[in-house]
Amino acid sequence: MPGIADIFKRARAHGIAIPAFNIPYLPMMTPVTRAVADQDAFALIETARLEWLKFESRGPAAVAQEFANCADRDHLRLHLDHVPVIDEDGRRVDFLPIIEEAIDLGYESVMIDGSRLPLAENIHITKQVIELAHIAEVPVEAELGAVLGHESSVLPPYEELFASGQGFTDVDDARHFVQSSGCDWLSVAVGNIHGAIAAGRKDEKKVEARLDVERIRELSTATQVPLVLHGGSGIQQAYVLDALKNGIVKINVGTEIRQAYEQAKRAGGSVVEVQQAVYDRTTWLLKDFYQISGKCGKLFK
């Protein structure tokens, strides 16, 4: 059975999306994993530090146990999402123990997010994580640029952000970053934004984001590694499909399925009804939006 690094190489060659589904509430695990298997697609299940601090995922161990109970490696693998060096509230994070724990728990890839650091420090810390993870043959995702949205402050209008290119990943910096750090995958900022997580804003509808596809193409050529799109929910489909032809491989999905869960629960739905809402939304994403139903086999040959 191929490792996750080989699967990513094949996905990049075929232009196939690998969605990575965030699980802020543990009951979401069963419907998401079932939808992926039923659609014969391939995806990652992931958890980020903010999801056990600001939601109810309880931490890497709880997510890993829930994953082990219902997922199969023919369609799914487990990824540690955003472990920031400086978090969305501006606090310094003791990141290495979190990453060590995830590797010990069997996470097959991990992310270190040094994007709020100066370039040189981001490179230095990413190399630290790579030295640790590669001993266990675990690929490392890093981030360069500012994918906004998780901050407690209100963002400027989206069109203003896009037009200014604020926070977009610089091509020359990305080339230097990948060559110097040795990261396996790179999360980039190219018009994508995170869904709001601040109190009172979690229910906000995400803006229909666009992507600078030419910038994606340049970043892919410069770095020669699979690129990652955080804040994947809400991006216009045409841009996503175009991005997949130009270097994006992994697409993080949080808001789309989280809000389906929260809205169904708030409406008084039973556990079965709430999980069905998540299953239906995940199925739609796999089949209609990313168009990867039945494509799992291409990643394993």
| Tens digit of each residue's pLDDT (9 = 90 or more) over 223-270 | 999 999 988 777 889 999 999 999 999 999 988 899 999 999 999 999
DSSP one-letter string for 97-124: HHHHHHHHHT-SEEEEE-TTS-HHHHHH
36-59 burial, b for 16+ CB within 10 Å, e for fewer? bbebebbbbbbbbbbbbebbebeb
Whether the pTM exceeds 0.85: the reply is: yes
Q: How many CB atoms lie within 10 A of CB 267?
A: 10
Structure tokens at 27: 């009951």
Catalytic positions are 81
Residues 6+ apart with CB under 8 A from 249: 8, 11, 12, 16, 17, 18, 185, 226, 227, 228
Minimum mean pLDDT among 11-15, 158-162, 249-253: which range?
158-162
Cα 292 from Cα 238, distance rounded (Å) = 15
pLDDT at 172: 97
Strands 109-113 and 248-253: unpaired
- Cα–Cα nearest to 42, from 81, 82, 102, 1: 1
**Burial (CB count within 10 angstroms: exposed 0-12, middle 13-18, buried 19+), residue 270:** exposed
> Average pLDDT for residues 155-168, to the nearest whole number?
69
Cα 157 from Cα 173, distance rounded (Å) = 26
pLDDT range class, residue 87, cuts 50, 70, 90: confident
Structure tokens at 245: 């032809």
Structural domains of the chain sorted by starting position, each given as residue range(s) with its CATH number in brackets = 4-299 (3.20.20.70)
Phi, psi (deg, nearest 5) at residue 60: -55, -40
Per-chain mean pLDDT for the chain: 89
Cα 189 from Cα 47, distance rounded (Å) = 20
pLDDT tens per residue, range 174-207: 999 999 999 999 999 998 776 544 444 455 555 6
- Cα–Cα nearest to 253, from 222, 275, 231: 231
Q: Is 252 helix (H, G, I), strand (E, B) or coil?
A: strand
